[in-house]
Amino acid sequence: MLFFSKFVLICLVFYVPVGYSSQVISACYFTDWSIYRPGYGSYNVSEINVCDTKCTHLIYSFAKYNIEKNTLEIVDIGQGFVPILTSCKKYNKKVLLAVGGWTYSEKNLIQPLFSSHDVIDQFVQNSITFLTEHSFDGLDLDMEYPSCWQMECDATSGEKESFAYLVKTMKSEFKKHGLMLTVAVSPNQKVIDVAYDVKTLNEYADWIGIMAYDYYSYNDKKTGLVAPFNNQPDEKTAYSVQSSVELWINHGAKHNKLVLGIPLYGKSFKLDLKNQNGLNAPASGAPILGQFTKEAGILSFMEICLYLKKNNWNEVFLKDLGSYAYKQLDWVGYDNVSNIKRKAQYILDLKLAGAMFWALDLDDFRNVCGYGKYPLLTAFDKTVQWKCDNTL
């Protein structure tokens, strides 16, 4: 009996995060365009069991704002992905719809929503109808960004106040129908100041998801990590995952309302010189295109792990920053399994609500690298799960 008591004590001390009373959120974005990628990169939910993931929430991306009808619209709804995704609810997953995203957040596509409170009020009611008809559990407002559409800021537009009114009104009405309301927000201080009434978001949103990624890109003309945990060397301003979380907390967001965005992709660069291949190295050329993603400056984790395994890229792991890999003039900064575990522990230490991942189709969902399906999502799950390791 004494041995059993010691075993239980060990489990309590090392495996239960103090202060947690509910499940750690693991929200995963699903992109409806990923089906069009070639070969193994095609994320077709008709053949891939999307319910068999480590996600607590699945978020369909993206709906757009239909200006004429003042409602939500899924452009590719004819693909039939919505009922497949919402069928995951029987496995105790919540399924949300995201509206906006970068493409659908051009000023002319979304600004009319904020023309008056009457327009917002009607949009809220129309959204309830749309979400209910399609069996969604809620809506994720991924509007990038009120008063700062696609980073063009106008503090005099009044959209900060209108967005706050939208969040407050929407949550008040959603509660009557058991619907969730979440927001995906910028990590940038300039945008936070201009776009968000943080007090209102904190009070009415079910969670605030910080898009803590895309800190560096090939447009910077020097190498950088997609989501550095701490500041990169020589970075003179607060420019990292930790500093972004601290910004939101300092602006009034509560720890247990914050969900940390984690990328399942890396940002790629073309080096100027082979012998300068570390952080902040000159990189002014056009980056390599991934064999699946086919997008300049972005490589999925599946593509990165294949480069490491089959093309003998060199990997450099930096515990409190991130990871990068390179070969010849090609370079990519990303999070590997160990970096994901580090961020998961940070979430536990700060008692944040959880994490959101962009995106399901960018992890190694087919196990082409031999480390198991969804190795990054699995690493996060293993870090935050509360059960005891029975090998003790």
Active-site residue numbers?
Answer: 144
Report how many helices (DSSP H) and strands (DSSP E) the chain contains, helices first: 11, 14
Query: In this structure, is the dihedral angle defined by the CA atoms of residues 49, 53, 57 and 59, taken in order, positive or negative?
Result: negative
Packing angle of the helix pair 241-250, 337-350 (nearest 10 deg): 20
* DSSP character at residue 113: G
Closest alpha carbon to 54 in 33, 80, 79, 25: 25
Q: Are 317 and 327 in contact (CB under 8 A)?
A: no
Q: What residue has token string 């063009």?
A: 152
DSSP string, 118-159: HHHHHHHHHHHHHHHHTT-SEEEEE-S-TTSGGG---TTSSH
Residue 237: how many CA atoms within 13 Å on its side-chain side?
7
Give the C-alpha separation, 114 to 91, whole Å: 37
Sheet containing strand 322-327, edge to edge, reads: 298-300, 265-270, 330-334, 322-327, 314-318
Q: Are 238 and 228 in contact (CB under 8 A)?
A: no
Q: Which two tokens mark 128? A: 């309830």
Residue 236, SS3 per DSSP: coil
Give the C-alpha separation, 58 to 356, whole Å: 10
Closest alpha carbon to 259 in 6, 22, 26: 26
Residues 6+ apart with CB under 8 A from 176: none
Helices (H), the chain: 2-15, 81-86, 107-110, 117-133, 159-174, 189-195, 198-204, 241-250, 301-310, 337-350, 375-384
